[in-house]
């Protein structure tokens, strides 16, 4: 029976061991200088350490090099990619074709996963990036289940799908929080726009709260709810999706370990016998709800939603 990878984005290097025990098969880590919206910040030492710990536990480590790079960052990339190859990371996650160009020279044997988030929306483009050297496509979160299944049916590369956690809705290069505070003349509050400050935008018309923060990649605005597909995994399993991602962004280690355990159980049950999963899935969902932060409700994202245009 098909057993997909369970991929988790950990908050720190100390998360790796308990998450492996909880059932994670793979991790995506990195640092904001090169990667976007990571659950934790991993410098080179921590990457080396994470790879060591994960590999000992039989798990893989992928490193995010998926920022939108301007010219000034290009000189830093060959060295970073060479380091990652030497550190024996299992893959690099990229969106910018510039990374592809540099990796061909600097780290030709390093596997590359294509991940542009919002713009990975059809199977043709997934296969296109596969022909250019990607060995996995990470799909946009704004796709419905039918589209995801259809992409998988036509895909020549393994497919990764986000099944749990928050989603980025917006990235600007501008420092929008700092700009707002400066406009208000509140220079004292300009400091500390990092994501650990729990800033959010309130949208009174929809009664939604959107987490927002600034970092060196600009301003990021996140979805008002967390995706949770723990009770809807059957069609994704049947479609043989290759990797299921749990995003640990803005969550703590305790939460992440608990949720990873629940998904591990769900996937194991389904692989053993789908009926076992169907019997248990409501309970698994209830357990997710128990650990879910009170101000973050869950939904199924775009999996069962139609968008128009």
Partner 1 sequence: MAKISEKTVEGKRIIVKKPELLAPAGNLEKLKIAVEYGADAVFIGGQEFGLRSNAGNFSIDEMAEGVAYANKHNARIYVTTNIFAHNENMEGLEEYLKELERVGVSGIIVADPLIIETCKSAAPNLEVHLSTQQSLTNWQAVKFWKEEGLERVVLAREVSLEEMLEMKRHVDIEIETFIHGAMCIAYSGRCVLSNHMTARDSNRGGCCQSCRWDYFLYEGNDMAETALFDDGDAPFAMSPKDLNLIESIPKLVEAGIDSLKIEGRMKSIHYVATVVSVYRKVIDAYCADPDNFKIKREWLTELAKCANRPTAPAFFENTPGHEEQLFENHKKQASHDFTGLVLDYDEETKVVTLEQRNIFKPGDEVEFFGPQIDNFTQRVETIWDKKGKELDAARHPMQVVRFKVDRPLYPNNMMRKGVL
- Per CB under 8 A, does 295 bind partner 1? yes
Phi-psi region of 301 (alpha: psi -120 to 50; beta: other; left: phi over 0): left
Pick the closer one to partner 1 by CB: 48 or 292. 292
Residues 6+ apart with CB under 8 A from 8: 19, 24, 26, 27, 28, 245, 246, 248, 256, 260
**Contact set for partner 1, span 145-204 (CB under 8 A):** 147, 150-151, 154, 167, 169-177, 179-184, 186, 189, 197-204
Six token digits for residue 229:
């597909």
Smaller CB separation from partner 1, 109 or 205: 205
Q: What tokens does 307 get?
A: 């968008």
Question: How many CB atoms are located within 10 Å of the residue 180 CB?
Answer: 14
Instruction: Show contacts with partner 1 in window 115-134 (CB under 8 A).
Output: 117-119, 121-125, 128-129
Show contacts with partner 1 in window 4-43 (CB under 8 A). Answer: none
List 90, 96, 160, 226, residue binding partner 1 (CB under 8 A): 96
Task: Rule CB under 8 A: say whether 98 interacts with partner 1.
Answer: yes
Q: Which of 27, 114 has the CB closer to partner 1?
A: 114
User: Under the criterion CB under 8 A, does residue 97 sit at the interface with partner 1?
Assistant: yes
Q: Which is nearer to partner 1, 118 or 253 (CB)?
A: 118
Question: Interacting stretch for partner 1, rule CB under 8 A, among 43-51, 82-90, 114-122, 264-272?
Answer: 114-122
Crossing angle for the helix pair 97-106 and 77-86, to the nearest 10 degrees: 60
Q: How far is the CB of 154 from partner 1 (least distance, A)?
A: 8
Q: Is 102 in the site for partner 1 (CB under 8 A)?
A: yes
Does position 45 interact with partner 1 (CB under 8 A)? The reply is no
Residue list 227-286, contact with partner 1 (CB under 8 A): none
Contacts of 297 (CB under 8 A, 6+ apart): 225, 226
Q: Which of 206, 207, 216, 290 binds partner 1 (CB under 8 A)?
A: 206
* Interface with partner 1 (CB under 8 A), residue from 109, 216, 290, 309: 309
Nearer to partner 1, 223 or 243 (CB): 223
| Contact status, residue 39 vs residue 51, Cβ threshold 8 Å | no
Alpha carbon distances (Å) from 91 to 122, 184, 236, 286 = 22, 44, 23, 34
Show contacts of 31-34: CB within 8 Å, 24+ apart.
32/67, 32/215, 32/216, 32/217, 33/67, 33/73, 33/76, 33/216, 34/63, 34/64, 34/65, 34/66, 34/67, 34/73, 34/76, 34/77, 34/80
Q: Does 212 bind partner 1 (CB under 8 A)?
A: yes
The least CB distance from residue 113 to partner 1, in Å, is 16
Is 71 a binding residue for partner 1 by CB under 8 A? The answer is: yes
């Amino acid at each position: 029976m098909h057993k997909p990878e369970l991929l988790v984005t950990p908050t720190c290097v100390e998360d790796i061991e308990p998450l492996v025990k909880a059932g994670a098969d793979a991790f995506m880590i990195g640092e904001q200088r090169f990667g976007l919206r990571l659950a934790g910040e991993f410098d080179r030492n921590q990457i080396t350490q994470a790879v060591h710990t994960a590999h000992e536990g039989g798990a893989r480590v992928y490193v995010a090099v998926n920022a939108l790079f301007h010219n000034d960052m290009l000189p830093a990339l060959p060295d970073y990619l060479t380091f990652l190859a030497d550190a024996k990371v299992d893959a690099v996650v990229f969106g910018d074709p510039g990374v592809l160009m540099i990796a061909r020279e600097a780290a030709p044997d390093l596997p590359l996963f294509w991940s542009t988030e919002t713009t990975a929306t059809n199977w043709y483009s997934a296969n296109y990036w596969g022909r250019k050297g990607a060995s996995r496509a990470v799909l946009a979160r704004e796709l419905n289940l039918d589209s995801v299944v259809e992409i998988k049916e036509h895909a020549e590369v393994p497919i990764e799908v986000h099944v749990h956690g928050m989603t980025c809705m917006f990235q600007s290069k501008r420092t929008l929080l700092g700009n707002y505070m400066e406009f208000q003349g509140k220079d004292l509050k300009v400091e500390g726009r990092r994501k650990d400050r729990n800033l959010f935008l309130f949208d009174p018309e929809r009664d939604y709260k959107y987490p927002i923060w600034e970092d060196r990649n600009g301003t990021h605005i996140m979805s008002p709810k967390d995706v949770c597909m723990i009770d809807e995994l059957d069609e994704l399993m049947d479609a043989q999706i290759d990797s299921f991602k749990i995003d640990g962004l803005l969550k703590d280690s305790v939460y992440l370990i608990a949720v990873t355990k629940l998904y591990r159980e769900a996937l194991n049950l389904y692989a053993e016998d789908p009926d076992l999963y169907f019997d248990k899935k409501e309970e698994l969902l209830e357990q997710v709800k128990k650990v879910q932060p009170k101000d973050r409700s869950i939904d199924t994202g775009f999996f069962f939603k139609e968008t128009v245009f």
